[in-house]
Chains A and B, each alone.
Chain A
């Protein structure tokens, strides 16, 4: 199977054998891991990729050998966060972004999710990076005021992130999550689920990305 053609080779086993985009993404991630794709390779694959291929590159970044500082994927994350394609935005805010985006870019990534309707469940390390972030709190408050003064609803996820910012940096474990939970109506949908990791045994395995920035589904 080739990276570009994975989509048409990953179909559901039962008739009518519809395409299985999640399996295709998992297959692409596994191809990248097996090839130990480096910075120049992932950059070329991303720049030449369809949206589905770009998602796979973004998802695989935390598990690839990207040089000593591991930052070769940062321009790809930044590119994805400039799009309005929520499939790409959701894939961009994974553990790699949590580890490598600076504070300004990361705050804007969180706001971008709120703007475009991507559930913040997709944001890896949300609790850890939000905790005590007064600047993010200010941005969220301003955005909420802007929406309210326009007579428009505030995104369901906004109070949830705001509550996280107000946790003390030294406070106790927040892994159980804040009490303000967003309803699932903001819908991650199938396209923003965690994809396979290199260590997974099958295409449906969810990612496990180390102790620092686990998938947000474990935080919530």
Chain B
């Protein structure tokens, strides 16, 4: 089973996770820029984070045989802090980078005017840079948040087939499907979706345009949830080909729209057994 996790925050994960992911079949992932749990207080803090998504984290991933791409954006939560909004002005120099395959995570958190502005501005940046967009749907008041998201999307220059709506569930999958966007589902131990509910949605909605991710981060989450969905699909009678479509071909097709997805894993070269991480910290 080959797996492409289209949404996972490896900055928050350990080398044990990378090893377990590789053993489970993960060969590629996309790490969206997001909130780090501790609020940032200046644009420079974002820039170091973005640089890490373009430098150190792909290097770590390559040592474990996993191709790493990222999405770059000002996340909706911090779009509300005027100390952070100058990040929007610096995004163009990041959105030209080779391993940036989408603008994201963008979307709504508390549905404020500042979030309206950041979402619309960043959808325009995606259109201007030939990139798709990863749009987070809010955790609170999700159904209303999705409707407002779709209103902004309709007014944007970005066509729906270049947008994935993420963190969907049973209450939002219908409207999301009707929008023509790609459908993202995050599988969590406690919240969001679980593998069995995911299988039920796949039975009803089919496997087209569906992305399944672990969205693993610094919270209680599990980077192997993608694999668990694959196993639950097989147990429910889905074919190997359908599992491959959901867990590999769909994310490749979605992020491939950037023209920047490179899935030939670079030889980690000098780094047998992850030496520079294990003992490089002089």
Residues of A within 8 A of B (CB): 2, 4-8, 18-19, 21, 24, 48, 50-52, 54, 83-87, 90, 111-112, 115-119, 186-192
Please name all residues of chain A whose beta carbon is closer than 8 Å to the beta carbon of B271 when the two chains form the complex: 86, 117, 189
Provide 25 A-B residue pairs closer than 8 Å at the C-beta atoms, listed in order of the A residue: A2-B96, A4-B98, A8-B98, A8-B262, A21-B266, A48-B93, A50-B98, A51-B59, A54-B55, A84-B276, A85-B55, A85-B56, A86-B59, A86-B270, A117-B270, A117-B271, A118-B270, A186-B270, A187-B272, A188-B269, A189-B268, A189-B270, A190-B267, A190-B269, A191-B267
Which of A4, A86, A111 makes the CB contact (< 8 A) with B276? A86
Closest to B63 in A: A86
Question: Is there contact, CB below 8 Å, between A51 and B54?
Answer: yes
Closest to A83 in B: B56
B242-271, CB < 8 A from A: 259-260, 262, 264, 266-271
CB distance from B203 to the nearest CB of A (A): 33
Question: Is there contact, CB below 8 Å, between B55 and A51?
Answer: yes
Question: Is there contact, CB below 8 Å, between A116 and B275?
Answer: yes
Question: Is there contact, CB below 8 Å, between B269 and A8?
Answer: no
Question: Is there contact, CB below 8 Å, between B272 and A117?
Answer: yes
Question: Is there contact, CB below 8 Å, between B270 and A7?
Answer: no
Please name all residues of chain B whose beta carbon is closer than 8 Å to the beta carbon of A87 when the two chains form the complex: 59
Question: Is there contact, CB below 8 Å, between A50 and B55?
Answer: yes
Please name all residues of chain B whose beta carbon is closer than 8 Å to the beta carbon of A8 when the two chains form the complex: 98, 259-260, 262
**Residues of B in contact, count (CB < 8 Å):** 29
CB distance from A166 to the nearest CB of B (A): 24
CB distance from A183 to the nearest CB of B (A): 13
Which of A21, A85, A115, A191 makes the CB contact (< 8 A) with B282? A115
**How far apart sit A117 and B278, CA to CA, in the bound complex (Å)?**
11
Question: Is there contact, CB below 8 Å, between A116 and B98?
Answer: no
**How far apart sit A202 and B97, CA to CA, in the bound complex (Å)?**
24
Please name all residues of chain B whose beta carbon is closer than 8 Å to the beta carbon of A190 when the two chains form the complex: 266-267, 269
Closest to A50 in B: B54
Say if the beta carbon of B281 comes within 8 Å of chain A.
yes
B199-231, CB < 8 A from A: none
CB distance from A146 to the nearest CB of B (A): 11
CB distance from B260 to the nearest CB of A (A): 5
Question: Is there contact, CB below 8 Å, between B264 and A19?
Answer: yes
Please name all residues of chain A whose beta carbon is closer than 8 Å to the beta carbon of B96 when the two chains form the complex: 2, 4-5
Please name all residues of chain A whose beta carbon is closer than 8 Å to the beta carbon of B54 when the two chains form the complex: 50-51
Say if the beta carbon of B280 comes within 8 Å of chain A.
yes
Question: Is there contact, CB below 8 Å, between B282 and A192?
Answer: no
Please name all residues of chain A whose beta carbon is closer than 8 Å to the beta carbon of B259 when the two chains form the complex: 8
Please name all residues of chain A whose beta carbon is closer than 8 Å to the beta carbon of B269 when the two chains form the complex: 86, 187-192
CB distance from A89 to the nearest CB of B (A): 8
**How far apart sit A51 and B59, CA to CA, in the bound complex (Å)?**
9
Supposing A2-B96, A4-B97 touch, asked if A119 and B270 sit within 8 A by C-beta, the answer is yes
Closest to B260 in A: A8
CB distance from B269 to the nearest CB of A (A): 2
A-B pairs, 9 with minimum CB distance:
A189-B269, A7-B98, A19-B262, A18-B264, A116-B276, A50-B54, A51-B55, A117-B275, A84-B280
Say if the beta carbon of B58 comes within 8 Å of chain A.
yes
**How far apart sit A176 and B33, CA to CA, in the bound complex (Å)?**
50
**How far apart sit A191 and B227, CA to CA, in the bound complex (Å)?**
31
